[in-house]
């Protein structure tokens, strides 16, 4: 259910970017999802098709691609980075709890693949040139 809300947000954002860019159709959306973002990629895929079909304008046949980003934390005491999922908040090298997450919380829209109708925008400039 959580993922459905996120998918609705993605659709809203992508549809509006697609409209601004006057594209005909969005073919593919690529997301970057961090390992500890709380978003589960397979759940996203589950509701993706339905949501695109019912809630989007330019994304009716849009594929979803997910790039998963590993979670890494940094220890302030011994100044090393380590795997967050494996070791949690405690540094595996020195045992310190003074650690913070460097990457892994991302839920980004990376890019979109769009289709344009060709032979457009050619005369745009000449039309708006001189009006006096």
Partner 1 sequence: MESVKIIEIKKSVFSANEMDANELRKELKEKGVFLLNLMSSPGAGKTTTLIKLINELKKDLKIKVMEADIDSDVDAIKIKDATGVESIQLHTGGMCHLDAEMTKQGIDGLKDFDVDLVILENVGNLVCPAEFDTGACMNMTILSVPEGDDKPLKYPLMYQVCNLVVINKIDTLSVFDFDMDKVKENIHMRNPNAEIIPISAKTGEGIDKLANFLKSEISKWRKM
Beta strands 81-83 and 72-75, pairing class: antiparallel
Buried b vs exposed e over 89-127: b needs ≥16 C-beta within 10 Å?
Answer: eebeeeeeeebeeebbbbbeeeebebeeeeeeeeeeeee
Q: Pick from 38, 60, 96, 102: which binds partner 1 (CB under 8 A)?
A: 38
Are 87 and 95 spatial neighbours (Cβ–Cβ below 8 Å)? Answer: no
Number of residues that bind partner 1 (CB under 8 A): 33
17 CB neighbour count, 10 Å cutoff: 15
Q: Tell whether residue 24 is a contact of partner 1 (CB under 8 A).
A: yes
Q: Pick from 13, 19, 76, 79: which binds partner 1 (CB under 8 A)?
A: 13
Stretch that binds partner 1, among 24-32, 58-66, 69-77, 123-131 (CB under 8 A): 24-32
Site for partner 1 in 100-129 (CB under 8 A): 106-119
Of the two residues 75 and 114, which places its CB atom closer to partner 1 in the complex? 114
CA 75/CA 8 separation, integer angstroms: 36
Of the two residues 51 and 75, which places its CB atom closer to partner 1 in the complex? 51
Binding site for partner 1 (CB under 8 A): 1-2, 4-6, 8-10, 12-14, 16-17, 21, 23-24, 27, 31, 38, 106-119
């Amino acid at each position: 259910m959580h993922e459905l809300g996120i998918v609705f947000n993605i659709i809203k954002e992508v549809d509006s970017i697609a409209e601004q860019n006057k594209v005909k159709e969005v073919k593919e959306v690529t997301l970057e999802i961090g390992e500890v973002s709380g978003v589960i990629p397979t759940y996203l895929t589950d509701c993706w098709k339905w949501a695109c079909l019912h809630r989007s304008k330019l994304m009716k046949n849009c594929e979803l691609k997910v790039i998963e980003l590993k979670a890494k934390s940094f220890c302030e005491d011994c100044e090393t980075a380590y795997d967050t999922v494996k070791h949690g908040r405690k540094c595996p090298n020195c045992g310190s709890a003074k650690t913070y997450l460097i990457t892994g919380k991302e839920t980004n829209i990376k890019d979109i693949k769009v289709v344009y109708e060709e032979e457009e925008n050619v005369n745009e400039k000449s039309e708006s040139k001189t009006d006096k």
